[in-house]
Structure 1
Amino acid sequence: MVSNVAAYSSLVGVALGLIAHHGFFIHGEWHVQAPEIFVSHIFIPLFFAAGTVLSRYGFESSILPGTVFSAGLLASICYLVTLSTSILVYRVFFHELTKQGFQGPFYLRTSKIWHVWKCRTSKNHLFLDKIHKQYGDFVRTGPQEITVFHPDVFLATDGPKTECGKSDWYDLLFPESSLLTTRNRAVHDERRKDWKTCFSPPALAEHFQKSIKHVSNLDKLLSASVTKQQPVAMRNLCYWLGFDMMGDFVMNSSFGMLETQEWHHMVVRLQKALGLLGPVSPAPWLIQLAFRVFPRVWRIKDWFEMTAWSHVQIDARLKAGWEKQPTPDLVHYLLETKVPEGHKRTQEDLLKMRGDSLNAIVAGSEPIPVVLLGLFAELAQKPEHIDLIYEELRDADITDTKVLNALPHMNAAIQEALRLYTVLPTAGPRKAGPNGVTVAGVFIPPNTTIINPRYSIHRREDCFERANEFIPERWTTRREMVRNMAAYSPWGTAHHSCIARVMAIDALRITCAWIIKKYRFRLAPGESGRRVLEDMIDQLAPNPGHLSLVFEFR
């Protein structure tokens, strides 16, 4: 009798495992349900195991006798073993990517956990660059993931005719959402319209005036360093500048770091939180587990305290209303989208506003310090470019955006810094549409996640001559050095391009112009200028290394 029960329990477990895989988990996306799946698949076996142990010590239940617990435990074990085995066998031998012959590290086709392990030091950009050299332009980097290093990938996945969409990674803020994380194409396009007034010519002019104010605060710190004859820790200053600008842009409230000369406690928490998201970002389901199941300790605690703080700020800003601001900010323009008369903003509207504001602060603050650090590191190593830019700036009115836009060598230097210090080294994954997608003649099956690592593509020698070198002239007098313009995509492509790129470029221009027009600078003693890139970690946006410079007045 006991043996019959064990046999039936085993068969039930095996059958349920096969049904769960081939009937459910093999179809669609399950990352958002990962917390529920994880809890149920842990709790049920533990429940039966506990019942089995208790029954052996005489704690019988009249409702569920010990034999039922034992049978349930055996069925649960068989279910989990069968489910895991079926998934592994399918991914290794029968998956469509296997049939099509895509190559890559064998362990990556079994689970993204291995990719997370490889990224534990937040050097995903270097890991992907390494396997590119080993396996070529199309590498299988997950059970249902292809990393494409070919320059045609940007147009194929983001071009006007593409059927590709954003991957499951973009559910990062679930249940909140933002313009950046909205995956539905029609909803994204509609929300993007709400942002357009925020980047109209009059709005950009307002933002530029705010940028001048913050660059002036940066100038005061540089002047003080000259007076004291002290080297400047540029990483701090560039990040303080970026976040002060974005706080002012989003909610008319700067973080004030350039004025206090201290890191704002919430910016510190944000940096720590991104340090967690970077390594686990290859597995979106693991992000869901971290945020919704794991205890709110360590860096997970930093994330939630940072988001809670941002919610308080945005709620206070919403209460302040539409017309009570000295100058327009992001919330001002989003509030211009009036609700119908007699209606109130819904909870969904509030979640969108919170998501958009958090998105703007996080995503908007990163490009400015990253590119500035890269730019000044390269210029300090090649001071002849500083002299060329200064000649353009000598008699220029740098408070006029049209003038800044017309300075060829300075803009070429910024463009080159954007290539080498791209603000999205490996992020921005896409998902192939229902009909798949063809990139450079290679067909990628439907629903496959596609990674397009800009760090590697921007360094392709067949696209950029002397690709690892900082050569601004490739964008002006030596255009033959750009062998394939399709490989250059620092801001994204088409409808997925960064909506704030003009504002960001204006901020980069005024900062670069202000500093070079007023100061000479060089590498501090013992500084090579290479730490910015060599110590960079990839945590969604890059977190560059340090740079120490010595300034003097012209």
Structure 2
Amino acid sequence: MPSSISISSLRLWVSCGGGVLAGVIAHQGVFIRGEWHVQAPAIIVSHGLLFLSILVANTCLNIPQADAALWMSYSYIFSLTISITLYRAFFHPLSKAGFRGPWYARITKLWHVWAVRKLKNHLVLDRLHEIYGDFVRTGPAEITVFHPDVFQAMDGPRKECIKGEWYDLLHPSISLVTERCKTTHAARRKECKRGFIHSALVQHEAKMLKHVGNLDACIEADARASRPSNLRNILFWFSFDTMGDFVFSKSFGMLQDQSWHSVIVRLQKALSLLGPFSPTPWLIQVVLKLSPRIGVLRHWFFMVAWCEGQMRTRLDEGYKKQPSPDLTHYLMEQENQSRDKTSVAWLQGDSLLAIVAGSEPTAASLLGVFCELAKHPHHADLIYDELVNAVSDSDDITTDLKTLSRLGHLNGVLNEALRLYPALLTGGARKTTDKGIIVGGTFIPPHTTIIAPRFTISRREDCFEQPTEFLPQRWTISPKMTRNAAAFAPWGTGKPAVCRYPSTTCFCVTATLVKKYRFRLAPGETGMRVMGDMRDQFTPNPGGLDLCFELR
């Protein structure tokens, strides 16, 4: 009996030792190298099935060796966890470099999921900036950088960064926006440029002007009825109607119906997923791949399927069938109507991202413009004077985009609104390559994710005098109020053709409404809801705004 006990104990000790060794080897030899977020669902399933089979063998089948295997599993999980924790806390390059941040952020990003459960990531990061300064360690391999030089370092002509793991969101689907390989992205971007050449943009802008007319009709109806306009709804309807026409030559018809389209309602619900899960790309993969398609996830997959269905319809129609070319037309033309799997995947991914990325940021930016103009009506009067006195070749200056782009105060108002209400609050993660990068004299090690929150950077006092105030003159007659223009990158850097479309949309809508109407905050409206109720879900989702319009 003693001998039997000794052999049994020895077997357990050997099993535990083997588990500990396996855990250390798995971390140091495998998981510490490369990226594993896309494989996270498979890793969890495989580990879970293995553990479950051992547990069943031990408790239900009474297999003698199962008890030792169970202890080996416990030891493996324990040692893997300890190895990961110790490495991240003390031996990771970011730990050695001395980057400060919450102590728990060194070990896991799960803290961030809880912190942004109310979709206020821009405020969470802003508080960390106040505590820790310009470089904050917000994850095991992540630095949130608040220095104004970060935009050029990440996206400038000499950038040494790639897109972060977040951009594998749609994996295995592909799109220009989410493509992380520089070579593939450059090639695809070159192909997509045809949809943004001058002649194409002229056609797209003609469509946009039609929807500006529909927007104007909604507001005029409210003005003549002396009722406040729910400007948040109207601008979002306009933005999605325009983008639907831009991508598929098919408007959602929300401005005419003056109600939300069911697809867009589900899209808005689906995007709420990106609020709490964006900080943890591996958890996004787990949720999308392993969770049942109920609740918000049901809306997400409906949205993806709807965009795929729209693209299949367009493929069946043929790219030459549309009377007025859309973005899909140019992409299909570039693909030469190829129906191979890769071409279709590109088209489906690009259409989905175009609808989302092109609609919400534009609507949010416009809402910021009119919120500030309603609170500071003298700026609207200055724009009106510019519009009335401008010399234009067009009968209607509000459609003369070339002239509008030269109006000083209009430009200043739009720039200032984009500074205070950026198109991306905290999104746009990048990752350093083997060389690392230097930002503001600080070296950021290789393979580090970089977050650059525009919300906070554009409010830096050392970059903008009176940074929280709406002062368009900083972009016109008082340039010294802009102390460091590098902090202003509302649409990113190096993307002039792609960014022309939302910029011209903002010009045209602002000019049209300012020239035709006087407007003010509705009774009981303070304008504080726009930013106060803002939700950061990769794209900004602002609060409501009610304005009273009256014809000039």
Give the TM-score range, shorter chain.
over 0.9
Question: Structure 1 residue 492: deviation in Å?
Answer: 0.8
Question: Structure 1 residue 548: deviation in Å?
Answer: 0.5
State the AA in 2 paired with 1:136: G
Q: Deviations over 1:174-228 (max 9, x none)?
A: 0011111011111111111112121111111111111111111111111111122
Instruction: Give the distance between the partners of 1:302 and 1:151, measured in 2 at CA.
Output: 37
Instruction: Tell me the SS of whatever aligns to 2:438.
Output: strand
Instruction: Give the distance between the partners of 1:403 and 1:344, measured in 2 at CA.
Output: 40
Aligned to 1:450: 450
Alignment RMSD: 1.2
* Partner residue of 1:544 out of 535, 542, 547: 542
* Partner residue of 1:530 out of 528, 536, 542: 528
CA contact (8 A) 2:169 2:285 kept: yes
Q: Deviations over 1:56-100 (max 9, x none)?
A: xxxx5xxxxx22221221111110111011101111111111111
Aligned to 1:156: 153
Instruction: Tell me the SS of whatever aligns to 1:438.
Output: strand
Q: Which moved more, 1:279-288 or 1:158-167?
A: 158-167
Mapping 1:33-432, distance limit 5 Å: 33-55=39-61, 60=62, 66-339=63-336, 344-394=338-388, 397-432=397-432
CA contact (8 A) 1:318 1:331 kept: no
Instruction: Give the distance between the partners of 2:348 and 2:297, measured in 1 at CA.
Output: 19
CA contact (8 A) 1:492 1:498 kept: no
Question: Structure 1 residue 530: deviation in Å?
Answer: 1.3
State the AA in 2 paired with 1:122: L
The TM-score, its normalising length taken from structure 1, stands at 0.96
Instruction: Give the distance between the partners of 1:500 and 1:279, measured in 2 at CA.
Output: 28
CA contact (8 A) 1:431 1:448 kept: yes
CA contact (8 A) 1:45 1:73 kept: yes
CA contact (8 A) 1:91 1:98 kept: yes
Instruction: Give the distance between the partners of 2:389 and 2:379, measured in 1 at CA.
Output: 17
Instruction: Give the distance between the partners of 2:436 and 2:216, measured in 1 at CA.
Output: 52
State the AA in 2 paired with 1:213: K
Paired positions, count: 540
CA contact (8 A) 2:197 2:497 kept: no
CA contact (8 A) 1:108 1:143 kept: yes
Instruction: Give the distance between the partners of 1:463 and 1:344, measured in 2 at CA.
Output: 49
CA contact (8 A) 2:235 2:366 kept: yes
Question: Structure 1 residue 500: deviation in Å?
Answer: 2.4
Instruction: Give the distance between the partners of 2:503 and 2:101, measured in 1 at CA.
Output: 37
Aligned to 1:7: 13
Q: Which runs of 5+ in 2 are unaligned?
A: 1-6, 391-396
Instruction: Give the distance between the partners of 2:449 and 2:47, measured in 1 at CA.
Output: 26
Question: Structure 1 residue 394: deviation in Å?
Answer: 2.2
CA contact (8 A) 2:332 2:347 kept: no
Q: Which moved more, 1:345-354 or 1:133-142?
A: 345-354
CA contact (8 A) 2:270 2:300 kept: yes
Using a 3 Å threshold, how does the CA distance of structure 1 residues 212 and 344 change in structure 2: closer, same or farther? closer
Instruction: Give the distance between the partners of 1:504 and 1:199, measured in 2 at CA.
Output: 12
Q: Structure 1 runs of 4+ off > 2 angstroms?
A: 497-500
Q: Which runs of 5+ in 1 are unaligned?
A: 61-65
CA contact (8 A) 1:427 1:453 kept: yes
Question: Structure 1 residue 452: deviation in Å?
Answer: 0.7
Using a 3 Å threshold, how does the CA distance of structure 1 residues 498 and 534 change in structure 2: closer, same or farther? farther
Q: Which moved more, 1:158-167 or 1:79-88?
A: 158-167
Instruction: Tell me the SS of whatever aligns to 2:398.
Output: coil
Instruction: Tell me the SS of whatever aligns to 2:272.
Output: helix
Instruction: Tell me the SS of whatever aligns to 1:549.
Output: strand
Using a 3 Å threshold, how does the CA distance of structure 1 residues 92 and 516 change in structure 2: closer, same or farther? same
Q: Deviations over 1:223-271 (max 9, x none)?
A: 1111221111111001000000000000100111111111111111111
Using a 3 Å threshold, how does the CA distance of structure 1 residues 505 and 344 change in structure 2: closer, same or farther? closer
Aligned to 2:3: none
CA contact (8 A) 1:9 1:75 kept: yes
Q: Deviations over 1:355-404 (max 9, x none)?
A: 00101000000122101111111000000001101111225521111121
Instruction: Tell me the SS of whatever aligns to 2:143.
Output: strand
Q: Identity of aligned pairs, percent?
A: 52
CA contact (8 A) 1:426 1:452 kept: yes
Aligned to 2:393: none
Instruction: Give the distance between the partners of 1:69 and 1:501, measured in 2 at CA.
Output: 61
CA contact (8 A) 2:335 2:343 kept: no
Aligned to 1:63: none
Instruction: Give the distance between the partners of 1:5 and 1:265, measured in 2 at CA.
Output: 62
Instruction: Give the distance between the partners of 1:472 and 1:425, measured in 2 at CA.
Output: 20
State the AA in 1 paired with 2:188: R
CA contact (8 A) 1:425 1:455 kept: yes
Instruction: Tell me the SS of whatever aligns to 1:325.
Output: coil
CA contact (8 A) 2:529 2:543 kept: yes
The TM-score, its normalising length taken from structure 2, stands at 0.96
Instruction: Give the distance between the partners of 2:245 and 2:143, measured in 1 at CA.
Output: 39
Question: Structure 1 residue 41: deviation in Å?
Answer: 2.0
Q: Which moved more, 1:388-397 or 1:349-358?
A: 388-397
Using a 3 Å threshold, how does the CA distance of structure 1 residues 498 and 283 change in structure 2: closer, same or farther? farther
Q: Which moved more, 1:450-459 or 1:160-169?
A: 160-169
Instruction: Tell me the SS of whatever aligns to 2:334.
Output: coil
Instruction: Give the distance between the partners of 1:261 and 1:301, measured in 2 at CA.
Output: 26
Instruction: Give the distance between the partners of 1:403 and 1:99, measured in 2 at CA.
Output: 54
CA contact (8 A) 2:426 2:455 kept: yes
Q: Which moved more, 1:70-79 or 1:388-397?
A: 388-397
